[in-house]
Structure 1
């Protein structure tokens, strides 16, 4: 438990006070611009942005939570089909990839990041929901991101209504619903590297009281990265993608007061991981370190180059390097999900039950050495096999009256997650000299009871209180380091679970929220809140070598993390509701913060393997501010801007570890990983209506962020440099809005940027970088009937 008596140290306290004063001052100024009577008149007939952030439909203005909403129109216009593209629209939402956009994402909201490990037996601190269904593995989302009505990003702990593993926040994808009238839509995109994306949906009534919607997508391309390996026979394009998905949603009216929705989704992926690109860090054979400027200018060498391999001469957008085949780099996913939602009106209250079953299976192939391919005996090939099976059921009762809105319910969740990793170290003839498999299974059973009430106890004032009690068991059912071949010798398999002190932990948590909202006018509100969140225990189950005691100690379980979060915010609509301005400031106190430690370890038989391990770093604090602005002064112009500031620090930790440079350092005083100090996104669109022809739109959009470091060691050599990307679009829509065409270019100025940089290979003289995509182009045709 976190003691509320902690004192804020001087610097954070001053920053928090300054941010708070700025926010309150801005809000006070905004509140006096239009009169209440004028705003009340504006409200009539105007559209509202509706969200389900509190498990019921509400105008975003009425929700005392920092919520970003990405609409269906924006998703279609910007071709948002990946997690990264959604994050780019949201302040203080950061995503990094260890192995390219087809691999598992590492999510971070306000500096609180998710799993990001290869084993996938743990859950993220940033929860992912699809139509009120929690996904235990966010990697399975690839099969859901199509025919979306909107995407909601909730920043801050959501432990009351959504529960465990939401210490950072959550992302919810809301699918388009069946319609009574017959409608259909379709779009086709073609672009760089034979990029083809086909989306379509058809919806309508099958009979009175039965409506259905069938939607599907297919996306493929040859890969947006270029292999810089000089070996004969290697693939030249890397990171290929092929995903197809289909979803059926059917609504049944049961009498006058009840309804049943049945939804089935199936998706399959046959894509590729993107290998790293490893620039050297040594000046020459003396192994003196280069400067950052020299490293990213590709003027330095590593151990392989010193052994005779030609050096890397430049780092260009889309660079990657590997000697592996497409089959070896394959990422194969298969997802099946079925949901039943029953809702009935009891008169004064609604009863809702949502049950879901999801099965997800995955195989990922990786180039494990991350360095320049050569004839040297240093090739590492990794295969990751993961499978999850989950069932959840939520029953809730909710209602409203003149003074109260309330919701209460119970939730049950269980899953089984299996992981098998195989690491091969290959000889010059491609024979495997070392095979080091690991097998693990973790079963989770979780139950919760929750409730929340909004009490409008005075004119313009609403008090929100809620709590959730959760009891959970995460059992390590299997943990085995398999038999390892090391030259002619074979190391026997080790039952790691037998050495784990507590492989069957049970945890109990009370999380909750209290907030006060002041609605100065229908278009101006100010809120302050306190919330508490918790994350489940975790396990580290990627084994390469070591004794039973060493592997058991590494396995865990890693203790829970808890957060106490404080936030103030303001939501405003101005100038006849042509301008929307949302502001927020926050301060978090963490106890037992979970983080991923990545180090380089020796393999049996020689060579280096990159290892990941979950640890509790201790106590941490973070604070920051956010702004979102949307301005549409007339039918010809749209302006959007969002930005975030973020500061993090580990304030108390017993952990000391050895960095890749060989020095032993404490964690105290270091920032948390993947936390850029600022991020900005903006777009501007100019619409040109032409009578009898339609509307033409010229649009520019972009995103920029400060440097960040994704490792706990925080070595400056491994900082991901700050960068900014700019995209351009030209669009046309017919007057009846039935047809649309667009041409676009992304990363228009061919900026070289990095999605990830690891320092784990510094001992071999190189960084492991994940280079971002190059400039891409595309043309898209769409129709709606």
Structure 2
């Protein structure tokens, strides 16, 4: 059976399930709206009541609605679940607790995240002129960059994962969905909590959450967080940072002003600082494709039939160059996380600083209309120091007798970068109900300015001692002067690249739901967006384009000056078969804006990509609300997929990371099924099961390599090959299960509680140009708590708990890079050599390298509520 037949069968099964659930045998009593305290308890995973599963309130449609009656595929993680899973930052969601949501770090540092939903996952969304495919929102405010996202979470009420295109209400760059974080608001009553804990790997955390009494219409809430972890992998070089370290500090103040009935103004300010180092990039194998040494451009070695020493997208007939032997001391380990690096290298902490304010004004003008204004300003400042690969990334150590104390042979690419981002957004909304029509209308404005720079000097040298012994020394780097730059990390370096871009977006949108009958609801919506981008590549490979305009022209450089217009419609038909069973069919669209790659010398531009989504869903509460099942099946077609072709190009002073982003022709197919089941069979016991099946296929892309002379003149020789690309961090099958059990009260009211969750993800690609996959993942987390311990007869309560993440210490490679295992593409012709682009270069082949997941962590924490 083909997959298209499978997905059609899935759609039929979903429709059949809707009909079955609507039958009298499955008819249940109506759901009564739970009080606010019950809603909060259910969202947070509370299990204390035996009255069944209570209502979960979400704001996915810009109004508070019952999750079960909202015709969107949504997963919700509440405050209690966040605590049970020991989620301190967004990276902790990488274990797969929400199967459709994928989270991974950028190699360079922990605070830059790759976030994907339903197979919409960009490989490199950290470039200033490139956008993410999943919108991240905090209290309704869109975050323009995925930098700084991994700072510690403040007091979060819930995390909503909206799956599928959200182009109507949430706008551009939400083609895969939206990740919405909702903070707890001031209560106006004195109270709060003090939290703290310690664990292995030197971890410790503390938090203060304080609500002050309401005064003169003002309510104030203060939050402070601190999180620390020592290095996971030690650095043998004295006085240098290890890998996997973080130290986070943050403060947030929220003020709610309610001067009169019907008017609420929420103002918040937050500031955070995250010092961190990347996870260690290990050498996983050595020359795994058995590439051959020898040969020259004029007399290459033929590639044997059936060899895997074939670089995707090339038409190599032979190779030349020597496979360098491993230098003394380099360790190959593809089985377990190295807790001490093989060779010490310079490494200091990267620093991410985030800050901003949000003001949300709501005015209930009449029973039919509420007017809202959402104003926000945010900034991110980054200094990156990434030496995660050491001897495991190019350039490969050329260990020969020529490596002397006077002239050590250089290696260890130190990836240095700076980024400064500022954004302002203003949104006006009108939300209300007129007769049988619920409506949302809005105007949106977004203005972002980003600048960045990067350098990759070699930081280490090797001195030849003997065939089996080497001396490793630090070498001077970044000793020059770059007065045109203000970046702290790259100061004094030869500049690989630097750019700046301004993005503006304007939108008008509306959505209306006609409640035709008590059971039938028809929703139509649309959003019209104007996008503008103006950007400049100011430096490339240490050439100042503003000064050396001739070199910029010779490199084919054009500044980015693009405008795009899009209309994104949406239509949904939802039907309430009874008070407990709800079905919907949906058509939705979204798009991701275009941009330009600052990792190319010509600042190569690319266009937007667009997605259409066809979906059917079922949401049902069964057995007097002791079971809840939500199903969704979808078919997404994406045109203009933005794909990346990446190579590391060694130079005399360092290495240039060249990444070309372009739009793949044809239609990318994304198909999937999502299922969530919650069962509450008895008082105190709750079981959660989730599953996601995601099929993706990008049509083969013609890739052309052209040959140039050493002067940069095209010779006319070229090769064109159809190359397969893949969607990264998207497992075909992913599942999660959790059990929460709350024991009867003991010790005068204290409540023991046990939580365990297990999360599985099938192996998937880490790079979209390679078929090579990282490891399958199976992670188990657990917690045992004692809740509501009375303190001295007063109303204050204490909770204590012991916890473990990755309980069974399952060690797996979540990011595998095969680019150093295959021949490099040559484009510069040597005199008298015909069509050098069909001759691969083996001179920098070493092996796959990658990053292991977090090892087992465990600890004890306590919280005092007052």
- Tell me if TM exceeds 0.5: yes
Q: Report the TM-score, using the length of structure 2 for normalisation.
A: 0.80
1:41 and 1:405 map into 2 onto residues whose CA distance is: 21
Partners of 1:140 and 1:236 in 2: how far apart? 20
Residue 777 to residue 435, structure 1, CA distance change in 2 (3 Å): same
Mark the CA change 1:31 to 1:728 in structure 2 (over 3 Å): closer, same or farther: same
CA distance in 2: counterparts of 1:394 and 1:29, whole angstroms: 43
Local SS of the residue matching 1:128: strand
Partner of 1:547: none
Residue of 193, 198, 212 corresponding to 2:201: 193
Over residues 198-252 of structure 1, what are the superposed CA-to-partner deviations in whole Å (9 max), with x where a residue is unaligned? Answer: 122111334141111111100011123345xxx5537584221011111111011
1:542 aligns with 2:606: no
**C-alpha separation between the residues in 2 aligned to 1:15 and 1:211?**
54
C-alpha deviation, 1:268, in angstroms: 1.0
CA distance in 2, matches of 1:42, 1:179: 25
Q: Which residue number in structure 2 is paired with residue 576 of structure 1?
A: 624
CA contact (8 A) 2:525 2:569 kept: yes
- Give the superposition deviation at 1:318: 5.6
Instruction: Indicate which of 643, 655, 663 corresponds to 1:616.
Output: 663
1:572-600 CA-to-partner distances (Å, cap 9, x unmatched) read 11122121111001111111011233223
Aligned to 2:567: 510
**Alignment partner, residue 722 of structure 1:** 776
Using the alignment, how far apart are the partners of 1:496 and 1:388 within structure 2? 28
Output aligned runs, 1:362-381, within 5 Å.
362-367=382-387, 369-372=389-392, 376-381=409-414
SS for the counterpart of 1:400 is: strand
Counterpart in 2 of 1:742? 801
Paired residue for 2:839?
none
Cα deviation, residue 171, structure 1: 0.3
In structure 1, what is the Cα distance between the partners aligned to 2:865 and 2:554?
A: 56
CA distance in 1, matches of 2:850, 2:680: 40
Match of 1:776 in 2: 857
Q: Which residue of the other structure, out of 761, 767, 785, is the alignment partner of 1:731?
A: 785
Q: What secondary structure is seen at the aligned counterpart in 1 of 2:110?
A: coil
CA–CA separation in structure 2 for the residues paired with 1:422 and 1:608? 8
Deviations 1:671-730 (A, max 9, x none): 423221000111112322233252212322111111101222333xx3112121112221
- Partner residue in 2 for 1:106: 114
Unpaired segments ≥5 residues, structure 1 = 1-9, 293-301, 486-490, 544-550
SS of structure 2 residue aligned to 1:17: helix
Q: Is the 8 A contact 2:632 2:675 kept in 1?
A: yes
Q: Which residue of 2 aligns with 1:25?
A: 16
The yes-or-no answer on 1:138 pairing with 2:146 is: yes
User: After the TM superposition, which residues 657-668 of structure 1 pair with which residues of structure 2 at under 5 Å, given as runs?
Assistant: 665-667=721-723
For residues 152-195 of structure 1, the C-alpha deviation after alignment (integer angstroms, 9 at most, x for no partner) is 01011111011101111110100000002212112112101110
For residues 619-630 of structure 1, the aligned pairs below 5 Å read 619-630=667-678
Q: What CA distance in whole angstroms lies between the structure 2 residues aligned with 1:492 and 1:424?
A: 25
359-368 or 577-586: bigger deviation: 359-368
Partner of 1:677: 732
The question of whether the paired residues in 2 share the 8 Å contact of 1:149 and 1:176 is answered with yes
Query: Corresponding residue for 1:4?
Result: none
| Contact kept? 2:805, 2:856, Cα under 8 Å | yes
CA contact (8 A) 1:421 1:542 kept: no
Equivalent pair of 1:435/1:484 in contact (CA under 8 Å) = no
Any conservation in 2 of the 1:630–1:640 contact (CA below 8 Å)? yes
State how far apart, in whole Å, the 1-side matches of 2:387 and 2:31 are: 62
Aligned in 2, Cα 1:33/1:69: closer, same or farther, shift over 3 Å? farther
How far apart, in 2, do the equivalents of 1:734 and 1:573 lie? 30
Task: Please say if 1:687 is aligned against 2:742.
Answer: yes
- Match of residue 389, structure 1, among 416, 419, 422: 422
RMSD of aligned residue pairs (Cα, Å): 3.0
Residues 44-193 of structure 1: matches in 2 within 5 Å?
A: 47-86=54-93, 88-99=96-107, 102-114=110-122, 116-143=124-151, 145-193=153-201
The separation in 2 between residues aligned to 1:758 and 1:236, in whole angstroms, is: 24
1:713 aligns with 2:769: yes
Match of 2:450 among 417, 421, 430: 417
The aligned residue for residue 475 of structure 2 is 430
User: What CA deviation, in whole Å up to 9, does each residue of 1:84-119 have, x standing for no partner?
Assistant: 333522122112223277231111111101363553
Give the corresponding residue for 2:613.
Answer: 565
SS at match of 2:419: strand
Q: 1:254 to 1:607 in 2, by over 3 A?
A: closer
Return the structure number with greater relative CO, CA threshold 8 A, min gap 6.
2
Q: 1:362-384: CA deviations, max 9, x gaps?
A: 11111275534977522211101
What SS is found at the alignment partner of 1:364?
A: strand
Counterpart check, 1:315 vs 2:360: no
The alpha-carbon distance between structure 1 residues 322 and 66, as it changes in their structure 2 partners (threshold 3 A), is farther
Partner of 1:461: 520
> Which one of the candidate residues 583, 589, 597 is aligned to 2:645?
597
Distance 2:200 2:553 in 1: 47
Deviation digits for residues 229-286 of structure 1 (CA, Å, limit 9, x no counterpart) = xx55375842210111111110111322212111101111122122311223326795
In structure 2, the CA distance between the partners of 1:49 and 1:268, relative to structure 1 (3 Å rule), is same
- Out of 588, 592, 596, the position equivalent to 1:531 is 588
Task: Give the 3 Å change call, closer, same or farther, for CA 598–560 of structure 1 in structure 2.
Answer: same
CA-to-partner distance for each residue in 1:737-766, whole Å, 9 max, x for gaps?
932111112222221112211122224221
What's the offset of the Cα at 1:775? 1.2
Larger C-alpha radius of gyration, 1 or 2?
2
Q: Which runs of 5+ in 2 are unaligned?
A: 39-53, 294-303, 310-321, 398-407, 462-473, 479-492, 707-717, 791-795, 823-844
Superposed CA deviations along residues 398-454 of structure 1, whole A, max 9, x for unmatched, are 111341100111000001000110111246251239834321001011111000001
Name the SS of the counterpart of 1:377 in structure 2: strand
Does residue 483 (structure 1) correspond to residue 531 (structure 2)? The answer is: no
Structure 2 Cα separation of the partners of residues 277 and 215 of structure 1: 38
Task: Tell whether the 8 Å contact from 2:241 to 2:348 is kept in structure 1 after alignment.
Answer: no
Indicate if the aligned counterparts of 1:579 and 1:631 stay in contact, CA closer than 8 A. Answer: yes
1:634 alignment partner, SS class: coil
Which residue does 2:501 correspond to in 1? Answer: 442
Determine helix, strand or coil for the equivalent of 1:778: strand
Partner SS, residue 142 of structure 1: coil
When the two structures are aligned, how many residues end up with a matched partner? 742
Residue 307 and residue 569 in structure 1: after superposition, are their counterparts in 2 closer, same or farther (change >3 A)? same
Within the candidate set 636, 640, 653, 1:588 is matched to 636
Which of the residues 374, 381, 402 maps onto 1:354?
374
Distance 1:67 1:477, change over 3 A: same
- Tell me how far apart the structure 2 counterparts of residues 118 and 493 of structure 1 sit (CA, whole Å): 29
Classify 1:738/1:290 alpha carbon distance in 2 versus 1 (closer, same or farther; 3 Å).
farther
Q: Which runs of 4+ in 1 moved over 6 A?
A: 287-292
